[in-house]
Structure 1
């Protein structure tokens, strides 16, 4: 072990004497620090803005004057998806999926105002986060610092001298890997600080943050082992550099982009316009609650009269129009749920292609794990949509019950021609404040760990493969030395 530490110390001394190494390391640490600071500031501002918008939407809904309950159904309200505390480290899919939903009766809207969807391509390219730095740039630094770490010693004869002093090939490789791993830890430090800072605001996030930090430590360890192994196996320093840059380009750039393109082709999703047209067609088939002569709701009238044991709608103890509105909302809500389920299944199928791509790219594996741990993955977005739809349905049905039980049928029928009747159909403005506000429940720590497992398992497989390559390189190096 002492010899390994000496070799590592000597390698660190050589790196410290290289201006390129210093410049690269300083640049990456500065870049990571800037990314951490800007991401933390951005998320803090975004969180405050969303809370402000949500408060304004709630106040606007509660500030409605006395009005008919069905008017409130169409007035609607907005809900905002809260920002995950760890989004400062790993924003995941949040910038692309939208953060705001407008909730109204008879309609299910899509999320809007996603940062990336609303911005130019230049801004998309320019997004800088600690996760991006670690996934993309840190491996490149390790390559440029370590591509010649063994190949250089072989070319200059230093390796034979180490052998004459009793150093085994495995000890040489271990010392080189330890030195390069130390550089990796230095590069990792600013990102880990930002991760800990983000998690400190919510103690429940600490376990997820620790797992994410461990995943990135494993990710960089994979690159350290691969860089040292390739440097040992390559015939020259130049060959090692070219080979490692090619590996980086494939694993970090080509495979993630290619997997996304394949997913989009293999599981094509309809546009929002196409989805709206299909929904409208199906909604017409199930009936129109605003049409008293609609066949479905004519049958519903017969069933309702039979259930209450009366002959005429006028004899019902409740307002039939409110019952029709509630039944119509229940029908359309089931239709919306079916379409939302199919859309989510399609998105999950696309995500499965990316998970398959992680078999060819550790960058994809660590990204999937960190998104799940940070609650910025696809599943958390789907969770928001499902909870928002459940809240929308409950809110609309509460208003429909007010319509059925709090508005007299005679006044409801006469309100378009009788001002006094119209006034009597209005519900007190105090009612709006009694309706519940939207409360989003994010993934629990257990659900996050469960979501991280596939990515962590693939990452563990990559680590075993890297260790295998490292051991193979040590044996090959021993044969060369012998």
Structure 2
């Protein structure tokens, strides 16, 4: 243990003498703080705007005045996607998924006001966020910090001297890994303290209820990720004959992991599993609603069948004799049919997305950057699975609202009445305001079993490489 600490102290002293390394460390620390601050401002601004607009739309719904329930169903309201507290750290897909959606009868509208629409095409390469700094830029600092950890001593002759004095390769490797881990931890200490305060500040009314759990899991995730880069950089230096070779190898790996492979995987998934355009997707839904899923049962035939069922059930001659307004029943039946059509086509679309996502998940077996990118978004509540969960909750709310309007029409009006019957504020207040709580972190992580397995494999592989250095390396002394 004493030898381990001495080696770590020596490495820290050498690193602190390198002005370039210190400058890069300060620059990345500054970028991290700037990204956090910019993320906080965006989070605060969007959160306040959502809260204010949500209150305004709720007030408009409650004060819409007396009108027919079906008109109210078309008058509709809005649902807003709340910002999670961790979205200031990892923007994830929030830039692309939109912030609000209009809810009305017969239609499932797409989300509006995507921040990416206000950016240039360069947004595809990502935004400066704290997560991006940790995932992309900090590993670059680690490479410049550790690439010469062994080659420097080999070239100066001190490595042969240390080995001759009984210091094992394993002790040397772990001593250097310990040194760089301490330095990176010290560099991130302000960020770690800030995040800890955030996680314990009592933000219990946010979209996510398990803030502390997610913060701890994020600490663990990024700790393992950075440890992998530190360990791999030291190991490459250990196996390289010169610092130039080590640096070239590490930079090639960094470029492949963080730039080339992610874009390649994304393009491959889109080419292998093509998704229809929004225009085609909506056209298919409208065609099936108009003509039936089989193409031979138009709405008129479906309504005639429904009418016959009720006439037979109540043993009457006309729908006017029913103890309720058949128009409300038929509207709800039409709504439920269109919902089933929408669910069918949405299921097909999501199946395509699932295959695309599966390819990206499998690629994480070869790339730790993809592992941390996916898991980070999941824990921050800005991933695709949280977004789909929110969309499902919104759709269930919309369907409940429309059903309440149709049921009121059926129970409180007569057949043929439309403009004659008007509902009021009592009905509007029965519709609770939409609120959303995201799934628990452990539930979200169930969608990332491949990434978690990949992370475990990478960690095991690195520990083996560090703990059992190749004896043949003695030839490089």
Please give the residue correspondences for 1:74-85 in structure 2 after superposition, counting only pairs within 5 Å: 74-85=74-85
The answer as to whether partners of 2:289 and 2:299 remain within 8 angstroms in 1 is: no
The secondary structure found in structure 1 opposite 2:312 is helix
Please give the residue correspondences for 1:121-270 in structure 2 after superposition, counting only pairs within 5 Å: 121-122=121-122, 125=125, 127-200=127-200, 201-202=203-204, 204-270=210-276
Cα deviation digits, residues 273-327 of structure 1 (max 9, x gap): 110111111111139xxxx991221121111122223211221221121111111
Q: Displacement of 1:213 after TM fit?
A: 0.9
Q: Is 1:357 aligned to 2:353, yes or no?
A: no
Q: Is 1:94 aligned to 2:94, yes or no?
A: yes
State TM-score, norm by structure 1: 0.92
Count of aligned pairs between the two proteins: 467
Cα deviation digits, residues 396-441 of structure 1 (max 9, x gap): 01101111112222433xxxxxxxxx3x312124421221221223
The secondary structure found in structure 2 opposite 1:294 is helix
Gaps of 5+ in 1: 413-421
Cα deviation digits, residues 53-73 of structure 1 (max 9, x gap): 222221111121111111111
Greater Cα shift, 348-357 or 466-475: 466-475
Following superposition, which runs of at least 4 residues in structure 1 exceed 6 angstroms of deviation?
Answer: none
Q: Is 1:334 aligned to 2:330, yes or no?
A: no
Please give the residue correspondences for 1:15-94 in structure 2 after superposition, counting only pairs within 5 Å: 15-94=15-94
CA RMSD of aligned residues (A): 2.0
Which residue does the alignment assign to 2:303?
297
CA distance in 1, matches of 2:448, 2:396: 27
Cα deviation digits, residues 87-127 of structure 1 (max 9, x gap): 22222222212221111111111222222244223456572
Question: Which of the numbers 437, 455, 458 marks the counterpart of 1:459?
Answer: 455
Q: Displacement of 1:454 after TM fit?
A: 3.3
The answer as to whether partners of 2:365 and 2:451 remain within 8 angstroms in 1 is: no
The answer as to whether partners of 1:89 and 1:191 remain within 8 angstroms in 2 is: no
Gaps of 5+ in 2: none
CA distance in 2, matches of 1:374, 1:469: 32
TM-aligned CA distance change 1:310 to 1:209, over 3 Å = same
Q: Is 1:9 aligned to 2:5, yes or no?
A: no
Which residue does the alignment assign to 1:417?
none
CA distance in 1, matches of 2:441, 2:217: 11
Question: Which of the numbers 318, 321, 330 marks the counterpart of 1:312?
Answer: 318
CA distance in 2, matches of 1:147, 1:378: 36
Cα deviation digits, residues 233-270 of structure 1 (max 9, x gap): 11111111011000101111111111111111111111
Which residue does the alignment assign to 1:425?
421
Which residue does the alignment assign to 2:466?
470
TM-aligned CA distance change 1:284 to 1:372, over 3 Å = same
TM-aligned CA distance change 1:465 to 1:239, over 3 Å = same
Cα deviation digits, residues 128-156 of structure 1 (max 9, x gap): 21111111011100001111111011011
TM-aligned CA distance change 1:240 to 1:138, over 3 Å = same
State TM-score, norm by structure 2: 0.93
